[in-house]
Amino acid sequence: MNMHFEGSSNVTLLFDFWDVRGPAGMVLSVFVVLLLTVIYELLKVWKVTIGQQKQPSMKHSSAPVSLSPGASCFAPVMKCQGGSSSLNNSPSEISLAPTENTATTADSTTAVKKSWLLHSLQTAIHILQVTLGYMLMLCVMSYNVWIFLGVIIGSVLGYFLAFPLLNQI
């Protein structure tokens, strides 16, 4: 096997049945590799999108928050000790107080199921992404210039198409 790039229209890609002989087969193969690379880039964006959908809900810490000299408040505690009486009635103190957890057991069960479903989907996408990435790497390792350019152009086109999707997330 050659260890340098060549511009031949004869190459075997990935499997014995993908044996390219001639310019028409090379154009078709470059197009298929280009589409696989675009799909690879779109899978990356889809995995990021799912990762942002399953972000955990905001948790309250129990670290003290200084409100004024002599007044401190712990996040899980609803009332603050010390400080002036005008501070106790201020809207800013109310906005610092944690919200009550009114979620029922059914709601939390649904949230757990949704989290596992999203994680399973993200795992499946990751498996597809890794498999496709290695297949594209093996295509490049055919050392054919046209296949290499198909992967590069597919990556550029895929990123160009997927980039606006990242901004909408």
Q: Do the Cβ atoms of 103 and 109 come closer than 8 Å? A: no
Which is nearest to 30 in space by CA: 145, 132, 157? 145
Q: Do the Cβ atoms of 98 and 60 come closer than 8 Å? A: yes
- How high is the pLDDT of residue 74? 44
Over the stretch 45-92, which tens digit does the pLDDT of each residue have?
888 888 887 665 444 444 444 444 554 444 444 444 555 555 555 555
- How high is the pLDDT of residue 59? 42
d(CA 144, CA 137): 12
- How high is the pLDDT of residue 122? 93
Low-confidence ranges of the chain (pLDDT < 70): 1-2, 54-104, 169
Range of the domain at 142: 19-54+110-167
d(CA 14, CA 33): 11
Tell which phi-psi region holds residue 70, choosing left (phi > 0), alpha (psi between -120 and 50) or beta: left
Q: Is 45 inside a domain boundary?
A: yes
Q: Is 156 inside a domain boundary?
A: yes
Query: Based on the structure, what is the number of domains in the chain?
Result: 1
Q: Is 78 inside a domain boundary?
A: no
Expressed in angstroms, the distance from the first to the final Cα of the chain is: 45
- How high is the pLDDT of residue 49? 84
Q: Is 100 inside a domain boundary?
A: no
The DSSP 8-state label assigned to residue 56 in this structure reads: P
> Could you tell me the pTM of the whole model?
0.64
- How high is the pLDDT of residue 100? 53
- How high is the pLDDT of residue 62? 45
Q: Do the Cβ atoms of 133 and 40 come closer than 8 Å? A: yes
Q: Is 79 inside a domain boundary?
A: no
Q: Is 119 inside a domain boundary?
A: yes
Q: Is 10 inside a domain boundary?
A: no
Q: Is 97 inside a domain boundary?
A: no
- How high is the pLDDT of residue 78? 44
- How high is the pLDDT of residue 68? 46
